[in-house]
Chains A and B, each alone.
Chain A
Amino acid sequence: MARAEVPPPSAPDDDQDAEALERVQERGAIRSAIAVGIAVSAYGVSFGALAVAAGLDVWQACVLSLLMFTGGSQFALIGVIAAGGVAAAPAALVSSTLLGARNALYALRVAPFIGGGLGRKAVAAHFTIDETTAVATAQTTDRARRAGFWWTGIIIYVGWNITTLIGALLGDLMGDVRQYGLDAAAAAAFLGLIWPRLRTLQPIVVAIAAAAIAAVLTPWLPPGIPVLAAAVVAIVVGATNWFGPKPELVEPRTGVPS
């Protein structure tokens, strides 16, 4: 992080100081990127192992991490496949896509300081996930935001794909995954992804209602569909703003990597 003391508003001959301060802030952003990047990369192991447990082969697990590269959607896809097999593929597609909708909002927030042409935007889009957005938007200058975004993105992309492969190979060796509690690990992984978002009443109410609806509908609908039905809760509560913050308050944003 940047040093605590903030320089006085810059006079015309302060260019060198301003440059030095910008570099300090940039290094702070890179340090955050490394810390977040390494921590997040580690749980690619759990994704790889769970993907294989869900019935994907090692190649499929790896291609998913290379091409989709957004943890929540990847876990959702394999979670639905684990429950319903290939027959549940349409439901898996819809759940993983809905879960990726938040990335479009992240892109809006990072687009102004990413700049560049279509090519750079396309690469940036691939890296637009919870963690890159969190690290970038926590910085105070555009230069530090860019550094935070790209460093976090590159470190996680490389790390996540390597650890996915390791996890998938481990999962392949394990055989019966229930014996090792991997089905419970999948539930715990979802809990870890949702945890940082449960800070205000509205998301907590939505989470409880969605979990209840999915459980109640499970005996009545094919696997995958109860999860989609729970999405209705988000639409209803989002449209009406029940349990929401008062209009004059700005909606809190989760700044913590999930």
Chain B
Amino acid sequence: MTIWHLILIASIASFALKFSGYLVPASVLERPIPSRIANLMTVALLAALISVQTLAGGQAIEIDARIPAVIVAGVLFALRVPFIVVIVAAAAVAAVIRLLT
């Protein structure tokens, strides 16, 4: 699979999911268990991505400047700082730490 194949197939899958909600009767998808799983799926995958993006270096766990950067981002999100500002701040924290060490 090349990157282009991935982009096209994943986009089709993404559209199919969105479109299914317009075609399938609400009773099929809105039962408590499937809708709870779909909502929790979002949380689980995002949390796993945060974890891997912060800690993994290839197939090893690496403790580096990403950890303080993510902690700063968490504090700023808690203070309701706008998304784009937090992203820039997190990058800046990691960049400065790498510059100094």
Contact = CB atoms under 8 A, between A and B. Distances in A.
Specify whether A and B are partners. Answer: yes
Interface stretch (A7-15, A17-25, A224-232): A224-232
A128 B14 CA distance: 10
A223 B59 contact: yes
* Residues of A in contact with B, size category: 35 or more
A90 B88 CA distance: 30
Instruction: Report which residue of A42, A68, A226, A238 has the largest number of chain B beta carbons within 10 angstroms of its beta carbon.
Output: A238
Question: Main SS of the interface on chain A?
Answer: helix
B3 A190 contact: no
Interface in A183-233: 183-195, 197-198, 202-203, 206-215, 218-219, 221-223, 226-227, 229-231, 233
Given A107-B19, A107-B21, A237-B40, A187 B54 contact: yes
Contacts of A100: 13-14, 17-18
Contacts, number: 317
What's the interface size class on B, roughly? 35 or more
Nearest to A251: B36
Interface of B: 1-11, 13-15, 17-24, 26, 29-30, 32-33, 35-56, 58-61, 65-66, 69-70, 73-74, 77, 82-84, 86-96, 98
Interface of A: 39, 42-43, 45-46, 55-56, 60, 63-64, 67-70, 72-73, 75-77, 79, 81-83, 86, 89-90, 92-93, 95-108, 111, 114, 121-122, 124-126, 128, 178-195, 197-198, 202-203, 206-215, 218-219, 221-223, 226-227, 229-231, 233-235, 237-239, 241, 244, 251
